[in-house]
């Protein structure tokens, strides 16, 4: 296992420490709860937006903490849901007069932890509500879910509610907005290799050279099928069709198009995928208003990519264009 | 304990009984789970409750709510698989119900069962008849509710009838096919096999009866 770590059990805390040391003016850290939060939070002026899922998906979500995005994140261990006390403490510490919105990807462990934390916080009079993200079109149920999984489309939910929260939207409006974005975003991914959580020390699934897992989950969960490796264009054709047919995206729609790397694929290859995806969008009559080609939601060092389409209207376009300052977007 | 309301002292003792039941029956519960599940139930419970035992002396004891809330957090985080959030939800609902209460009467306990059952169904998605611990908790709750909280010896009578009802639920559910929970992946194979979650509830109720009345 050729990886950078000291003690594999300190993978998450040492990552958090490094992140805070690199952003001393803007981020703070509560080690007991793996909690990274904006140093100017909690606030009297905005709803706090928080998320916590397994680690190993960076930059999701601790590196999406910053003005205009998340106010706090409290990840669990690699690919493990955060314990309920992490979620509860995160809600409690971020709470202000306008309340707290939590975003949870649709995985049973994450959902149970956040919903319990919500019940505990509500019992203490905290105004807290949640939204669930389930943008992955590849399979209906999977190893860790009943229903669709939440994957890279989560970024757009965070961006939209993060921007709206900065502009003063109240909790109910943010719940409505988050659900709206989730309803308009679709994703599917493909894995070319597996990945190795440091504390596990071995790959989470087996895949041979020359094979791919079409519709893979971000924890290596099985997708639609195992197939022989194909050309970049052929792979994009399948991903794009699955994603675009699902909503469906129709001629005349304005969209945001994301090609997200899963951690082990170079950005050069992501642009090869974008090239074909943009061609297909054009052929379908879609207008790409914004594009995102980078890593947003990964699976450690897994080679692979996901493709996300979000249908835009004037409201969402303005929210995507609103300023945001997070560690991964500092130039 | 005659007819007086229960306080933090009895609540602590009840949690102790639940934990001890898990420790004493670790292998037995796992064995039952192995018949139609993945065989880790006893170990999951015992491993999780071991963390509570280690922290026992430092648990908050300002009131019933604070004590049970901490137990709920530890259970949820340390009991493995979905059993953690499910058992943790029961403790959490009990904690939330006990807010601003220094003691509890039998009616309160019935209300706690109602809240816990609702919470567990919500958390795990199980319905009555799916062959999960819900099918032991509901008859236990109903048995408790039959005893009036001002009846003489109400606790003694309630614990006796509730432990009988919980025990009866093992046989009553044996021939159901599991639709949720530990056995649901084995489909028809679960028919004729007792559910370890139901057995655990029954064993706990029997041990409560012994601990508080003998």
- Kindly report the three-state secondary structure assignment for every residue of chain B: CCCCCECHHHHHHHHHHHHHHHHHCHHHHHHHHHHHCCCCHHHHHHHHHHHHHHCHHHCCCCCHHHHHHHHHHHHHHHCCCCHHHHHHHHHHHHHHHCCCCCCECHHHHHHHHHHHHHHHHHHHCCCCCCCCCHHHHHHHHHHHHHCCCCCCCHHHHHHHHHHHHHHHHHHHHCCCCCCCHHHHHHHHHHCCCCCHHHHHHHHHHHHHHHHHHC
Distance, CA of B210 to chain centre: 16
CA distance to partner chain B, nearest, from residue A93 (Å): 17
CA distance to partner chain B, nearest, from residue A278 (Å): 42
User: Which pLDDT score is estimated for B189?
Assistant: 77
Burial class (CB in 10 A: 0-12, 13-18, 19+), A125: exposed
Other CB atoms within 10 Å distance of the CB of residue B152: 9
In the predicted structure, residue B2 carries a pLDDT above the cut 80:
no
Distance, CA of B9 to chain centre: 18
Report the alpha-carbon distance of residue B91 to residue B74 in Å, rounded.
10
Q: Considering only alpha carbons, which residue of chain A is nearest residue B77?
A: A83
CA distance to partner chain A, nearest, from residue B81 (Å): 8
Chain-chain contact of A112 with B82 (C-beta, under 8 angstroms): yes
Backbone angles phi, psi at A64, to 5 degrees: -105, 15
For A54-73, what is the mean pLDDT? 97
Comparing CA positions, the residue from A12, A6, A7, A27 lying closest to residue A328 is: A27
User: Which pLDDT score is estimated for A125?
Assistant: 95
For residue A120, list chain B residues with Cβ-Cβ distance below 8 A: 69, 72, 92, 96
In the predicted structure, residue B113 carries a pLDDT above the cut 60:
yes
- For chain B positions 88-147, those within 8 Å of chain A (CB to CB) are 88-89, 92, 96, 99, 119, 122-123, 125
In the predicted structure, residue B186 carries a pLDDT above the cut 70:
no
For B161-187, what is the mean pLDDT? 86
CA distance to partner chain B, nearest, from residue A315 (Å): 35
Residues in chain A: 331
All domains of chain A, ordered by start, with CATH? 10-133 (3.40.50.10440), 185-321 (3.30.1180.20)
For A225-240, what is the mean pLDDT? 98
Active-site residue, A61 included: no
Q: Where are the domains of chain B?
A: 8-213
In the predicted structure, residue B126 carries a pLDDT above the cut 80:
yes
B183: pLDDT confidence band, cut at 50, 70 and 90?
low
Share of chain A above pLDDT 90, in %: 91
Chain-chain contact of A84 with B69 (C-beta, under 8 angstroms): no
User: Which pLDDT score is estimated for A326?
Assistant: 93
CA distance to partner chain A, nearest, from residue B21 (Å): 24
In the predicted structure, residue A108 carries a pLDDT above the cut 90:
no
Q: In what order do the strands lie in the sheet with A27-30?
A: A27-30, A35-38, A72-73, A48-51, A100-105, A128-133
The 10s digit of each residue's pLDDT in A246-279 is 999 999 999 999 999 999 999 999 999 999 999 9
For B124-128, what is the mean pLDDT? 89
User: Which pLDDT score is estimated for A146?
Assistant: 79
Comparing CA positions, the residue from B204, B214, B163, B213 lying closest to residue B14 is: B204
In the predicted structure, residue A242 carries a pLDDT above the cut 80:
yes
- For chain B positions 33-92, those within 8 Å of chain A (CB to CB) are 69, 72-73, 76-77, 82, 85, 88-89, 92
Handedness of CA A11, A13, A19, A22 (dihedral sign): negative
Of B77, B82, B89, the CB nearest to A108: B82
Q: How far is CA A253 from CA A157, A191, A257, A282, in A?
A: 19, 29, 12, 11
Other CB atoms within 10 Å distance of the CB of residue A183: 12
Per 3-state DSSP, chain A is made up of helix, strand and coil in percentages (nearest 5) of 35, 25, 40
For residue A84, list chain B residues with Cβ-Cβ distance below 8 A: 72-73, 76-77, 85, 88
In the predicted structure, residue A90 carries a pLDDT above the cut 80:
yes
Report the alpha-carbon distance of residue A315 to residue A272 in Å, rounded.
30
Chain-chain contact of B92 with A115 (C-beta, under 8 angstroms): no
DSSP E strands: which ranges in A106-157? Answer: 128-133
B190: pLDDT confidence band, cut at 50, 70 and 90?
confident
User: Which pLDDT score is estimated for B36?
Assistant: 76
Chain-chain contact of A112 with B77 (C-beta, under 8 angstroms): no
User: Which pLDDT score is estimated for B188?
Assistant: 76
Active-site residue, A57 included: yes
User: Which pLDDT score is estimated for B71?
Assistant: 97
User: Which pLDDT score is estimated for A5?
Assistant: 93
In the predicted structure, residue A181 carries a pLDDT above the cut 70:
yes
For A120-146, what is the mean pLDDT? 90
For residue A123, list chain B residues with Cβ-Cβ distance below 8 A: 96, 99
For residue A88, list chain B residues with Cβ-Cβ distance below 8 A: 73
Q: In what order do the strands lie in the sheet with A287-294?
A: A225-228, A211-214, A185-191, A304-311, A254-261, A287-294
B77: pLDDT confidence band, cut at 50, 70 and 90?
confident
A259 contact partners, CB below 8 Å, separation of at least 6: A270, A271, A273, A274, A277, A291, A292, A293, A305, A306, A307
User: Which pLDDT score is estimated for B181?
Assistant: 67
Asked whether the beta carbons of A313 and A255 are under 8 A apart, the reply is no
Backbone angles phi, psi at B164, to 5 degrees: -65, -40
Highest-scoring range by mean pLDDT, A153-167, B118-132, B174-188 = A153-167
What value does the mean pLDDT of chain B take?
92
For residue B96, list chain A residues with Cβ-Cβ distance below 8 A: 119-120, 123
Of A83, A123, A146, the CB nearest to B77: A83
In the predicted structure, residue A331 carries a pLDDT above the cut 90:
no
The 10s digit of each residue's pLDDT in B79-90 is 877 889 999 999
Lowest mean pLDDT among A189-193, B19-23, B31-35: B31-35
For B184-212, what is the mean pLDDT? 89
In the predicted structure, residue B1 carries a pLDDT above the cut 60:
no
Of A83, A119, A146, the CB nearest to B92: A119
Torsion region of B140: left, alpha or beta (phi above 0 gives left; psi -120 to 50 gives alpha): alpha
Domain B8-213: homologous superfamily in CATH: DhaL domain (1.25.40.340)
For A316-322, what is the mean pLDDT? 98
In the predicted structure, residue A330 carries a pLDDT above the cut 90:
no
The 10s digit of each residue's pLDDT in B44-69 is 899 999 999 999 999 999 999 999 99
A10: pLDDT confidence band, cut at 50, 70 and 90?
very high
The 10s digit of each residue's pLDDT in A199-229 is 889 999 999 999 999 999 999 889 999 999 9
């Amino acid at each position: 296992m050729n990886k950078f770590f000291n003690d594999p059990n300190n993978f998450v805390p040492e990552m958090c420490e490094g992140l805070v040391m690199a952003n001393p003016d803007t981020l703070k850290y509560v080690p007991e709860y793996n909690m990274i939060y904006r140093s100017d939070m909690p606030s009297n002026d905005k709803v706090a937006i928080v998320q916590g899922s397994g680690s190993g998906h960076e930059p999701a979500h601790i590196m999406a903490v910053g003005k205009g995005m998340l106010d706090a994140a409290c990840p669990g261990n690699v690919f493990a849901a955060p314990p309920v006390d992490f979620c509860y403490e995160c809600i409690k510490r971020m709470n202000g007069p306008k309340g707290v919105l939590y975003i949870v990807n649709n995985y049973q462990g994450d959902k149970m932890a956040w919903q319990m934390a919500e019940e505990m916080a509500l019992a203490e009079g905290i105004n807290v509500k949640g939204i669930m993200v389930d943008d992955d079109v590849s399979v209906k149920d999977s190893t860790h879910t009943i229903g669709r999984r939440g994957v890279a489309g989560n970024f757009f939910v965070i961006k939209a509610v993060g921007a709206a929260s900065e502009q003063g939207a109240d909790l109910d409006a943010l719940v409505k907005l988050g659900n709206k974005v989730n309803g308009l975003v679709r994703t599917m991914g493909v894995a070319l290799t597996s990945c190795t959580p440091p504390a596990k020390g071995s790959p989470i699934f087996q895949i041979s050279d020359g094979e791919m897992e079409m519709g893979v989950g971000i924890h290596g969960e099985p997708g639609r099928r195992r197939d022989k490796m194909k050309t970049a264009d052929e792979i994009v054709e399948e991903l794009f069709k699955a994603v675009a047919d699902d909503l469906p995206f129709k001629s005349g729609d304005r969209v945001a198009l994301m090609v997200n790397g899963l951690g082990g694929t170079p950005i050069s290859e992501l642009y090869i995928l974008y090239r074909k995806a943009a061609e297909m969008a054009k052929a379908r009559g879609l207008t790409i208003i914004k594009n995102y080609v980078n890593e947003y939601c990964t699976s450690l060092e897994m080679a692979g990519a996901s493709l996300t389409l979000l249908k835009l209207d004037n409201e969402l376009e303005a929210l995507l264009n609103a300023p945001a300052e997070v560690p991964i977007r500092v130039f | 304990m005659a007819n007086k309301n229960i306080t933090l002292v009895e609540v602590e003792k009840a949690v102790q009984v639940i934990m001890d039941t898990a420790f004493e029956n670790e292998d037995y519960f796992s064995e039952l789970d192995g018949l139609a599940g993945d065989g880790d139930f006893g170990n999951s419970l015992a491993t999780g409750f071991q963390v509570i035992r280690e922290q026992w002396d430092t648990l908050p004891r300002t009131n019933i709510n604070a004590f049970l809330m901490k137990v709920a957090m530890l259970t949820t985080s340390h009991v493995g698989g979905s059993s953690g959030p499910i058992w943790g939800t029961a403790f959490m609902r009990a904690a939330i119900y006990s807010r601003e209460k220094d003691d509890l009467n039998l009616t309160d306990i019935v209300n706690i069962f109602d809240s816990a059952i609702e919470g567990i169904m919500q958390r795990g998605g199980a319905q009555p008849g799916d062959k999960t611990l819900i099918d032991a908790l509901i008859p236990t709750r109903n048995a408790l509710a039959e005893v009036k909280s001002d009846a003489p010896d109400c606790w003694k009578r309630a614990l006796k009838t509730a432990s009988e009802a919980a025990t009866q639920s093992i046989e009553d559910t044996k021939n159901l096919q599991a639709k949720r929970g530990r056995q649901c992946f084995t489909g028809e194979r679960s028919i004729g096999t007792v559910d370890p979650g139901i057995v655990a509830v029954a064993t706990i109720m029997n041990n409560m009866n012994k601990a508080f009345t003998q």
